[in-house]
Amino acid sequence: MIIHLRTACVLVLLTAASACTSAPSVRYVTLAEIQASLPATPVVAGFDIDDTVLFSSPGFNYGLNNQDGPGGTNKYGESPLKSPVFWNDMNSWFDNFSLPKASGNALIQMHLKRGDRIVFITARDSSKVSIVPKILKQSFSIPKPEVLFTCDKPKRSAIVSKGVTIYYGDADSDMLAADSAKARPIRVLRSPFSTNRTSYAKVGLLGEEVLKDSEN
Ligand SMILES: [Mg+2]
């Protein structure tokens, strides 16, 4: 009897332990599933830019890690992402070396075919000169890309003001902003070659859907 009780206790403990350690399930979706889930009428689809539709790590890597300033320092200073000179270079020149992501292109083409409006909402700083719309136009065949720069501010108000109902992004902050704006958040995975390591700890864990095979 005592042996049976001990066995039962061990089983209960093992079950509890496995329940505590089992990973939460991530909701993966395909492009076809997203398309099938959309209403028949056109929607406004919002897109983040960096690591979502463009692989822009080359420019950011140079901006953050160059040693081309005085005495081998960074030419954009100690905080390149706060430098207007960096943002001007990024937005007006470095994007020539950004690569369009195939998954981003597939999403955009699906929305264009449906007649949806597409809005790009990026946390990049704006700059005096910008080729960002031109790069998006030539990369994804969008006649006149609409781009909003939130300048490192949360994207919630931009998502709301543009009437975005579905928002694609790679960062945790994108998912949280979309959710707080009552838009449907869809996570796009970062390329394994991306140099961005920020805001990416909770992939699939914020209640969002995750687009399968969207690293490239
Ligand atoms: Mg991004």
How large is the average pLDDT for residues 33-45? 98
Question: 39, exposed or middle or buried, with CB in 10 Å at 0-12, 13-18, 19+?
Answer: exposed
Backbone angles phi, psi at 34, to 5 degrees: -65, -50
How large is the average pLDDT for residues 145-157? 97
Centroid of ligand 1 to alpha carbon of 170 (angstroms): 5
Please say if the pLDDT value at position 188 is more than 60: yes
Q: How confident is the model at residue 24 (pLDDT cuts 50, 70, 90)?
A: confident
Please say if the pLDDT value at position 17 is more than 90: no
- Provide the pLDDT for residue 6: 56
Centroid of ligand 1 to alpha carbon of 87 (angstroms): 15
Q: Is residue 6 part of a domain?
A: no
- Provide the pLDDT for residue 7: 52
Residues 121 and 105: beta-carbon distance below 8 Å: no
Per-residue tokens: 111: 């929305």
Please say if the pLDDT value at position 127 is more than 50: yes
Q: Is residue 94 part of a domain?
A: yes
How large is the average pLDDT for residues 60-76? 98
Residue 51 appears among annotated catalytic residues: no
Report how far residue 213's alpha carbon sits from residue 189's, in angstroms, rounded to the nearest whole number. 8
Q: How confident is the model at residue 21 (pLDDT cuts 50, 70, 90)?
A: low
Residue 179 appears among annotated catalytic residues: no
Centroid of ligand 1 to alpha carbon of 70 (angstroms): 31
Contacts with 213 (C-beta within 8 Å, 6 or more apart), sequence order: 103, 189
Q: What average pLDDT is seen over the chain?
A: 92
Catalytic annotation, pick one of 50, 89, 170, 174: 50
Contacts with 210 (C-beta within 8 Å, 6 or more apart), sequence order: 26, 27, 28, 29, 186, 187, 189, 203, 204
Centroid of ligand 1 to alpha carbon of 211 (angstroms): 14
At how many degrees (to 10) do helices 57-65 and 84-92 cross?
Answer: 150
Report how far residue 76's alpha carbon sits from residue 60's, in angstroms, rounded to the nearest whole number. 12
Contacts with 35 (C-beta within 8 Å, 6 or more apart), sequence order: 110, 114
Centroid of ligand 1 to alpha carbon of 172 (angstroms): 9
Please say if the pLDDT value at position 8 is more than 80: no
| 24 or 35, greater pLDDT | 35
Percent of the chain scoring above 70 in pLDDT:
89
Q: Is residue 20 part of a domain?
A: no
Please say if the pLDDT value at position 171 is more than 60: yes
Q: How confident is the model at residue 16 (pLDDT cuts 50, 70, 90)?
A: very low
Q: Is residue 96 part of a domain?
A: yes
How large is the average pLDDT for residues 167-190? 98
**Residue for token digits 């496995």?**
18
Global confidence as pTM: 0.89
Torsion of CA 25, 26, 32, 33, to 10 degrees: 50
Residue pLDDT, tens place only, 74-117 = 999 999 999 999 999 999 999 999 999 999 999 999 999 999 99
Q: Is residue 140 part of a domain?
A: yes
CATH number, domain containing residue 169: 3.40.50.1000
Per-residue tokens: 196: 């961005």
Please say if the pLDDT value at position 146 is more than 60: yes
Please say if the pLDDT value at position 40 is more than 70: yes
Q: Is residue 17 part of a domain?
A: no
Q: Is residue 12 part of a domain?
A: no
Number of domains in the chain: 1
- Sign (positive or negative) of CA dihedral 210, 30, 161, 80: positive
Catalytic annotation, pick one of 48, 51, 116, 174: 48
Cα atoms found within 13 Å of the Cα of residue 154, Cβ hemisphere only: 12
Domain that holds residue 107: 26-211
Centroid of ligand 1 to alpha carbon of 73 (angstroms): 27
Q: Is residue 21 part of a domain?
A: no
